[in-house]
Structure 1
Amino acid sequence: MFGGGGMNPRKMQQMMKQMGIDVTDIDAEEVIIRTEDEELVFSDAQVTRMDAQGTQTYQVVGEPETRERGASEESASEDTDADTDTDADANASAGIPDSDVEIVAQRAGVSADEAREALADEDGDLAAAIARFE
């Protein structure tokens, strides 16, 4: 990005700090990217967050496992009975990862319950859930 191929990593961090860029490594257990058709699941991925001028950018490094969209949600709800609307709502929110709830709550400035409800209404779409509060 900055062309610092042979640059000392410590010097690079100093320069980035001077430019107002903060880089943080995140100890992630799993990263899931959901597309319309599939899910890309990164286990043991290296995740880095870069904060620059009020914008957070995430970099994920690793080899993803590809699986059909909804495969994990179906297995989670097979053991439950969804005969009523309240049971269906509970099953939808049970499949939402706590990390997604935390992201929406933090970015939108709302409670975890409100974030979880927005994620459930938006079928787990982080951007759409955050946009509901903006």
Structure 2
Amino acid sequence: MSLHYEVVFSCFLDDETPPDVLDVLRWHLGMRDERPATLDAEDHPYRLLAPDPDSYLPGGDVASLRRQRVGFTATGERFQWGLHSRNYWLDDDLGELVSILDLIAPHVVEDGYGGHLREEYDTDLVVFEFRDGSYVGNRAH
């Protein structure tokens, strides 16, 4: 019997995130129909973050990627890409997490929390922590 997980990504990406990275994210989130030409089908065999309308998570799956105003500087408004997704995953798919983590880690704006995963009935989280363009998963209680 398979285990099921809630997988959440919640972080800001740099406003200068390359368009091809944003296109790949949009495809994974179900916001784009065509697979980007730059996307390696071996590294990204199927959409990982597209909401399932029949999700078993309370409130369902969600997916969002939008350019947001996050403040002001001396030269004007400051923007970043807000990424938020929450999906119901099978344990067999957890190996694919690295595809998303590798894609976004170099572009995450602030070090620290970037999401988590948890077995659907568990209270323990594995937190995705971003640091210096990379990531680590840490157990949290």
TM-score, normalising length from structure 1? 0.30
* Structure of larger gyration radius: 1
More strand by share: 2
For CA contacts below 8 A with separation 6 or more, give which structure has more relative contact order.
Answer: 2
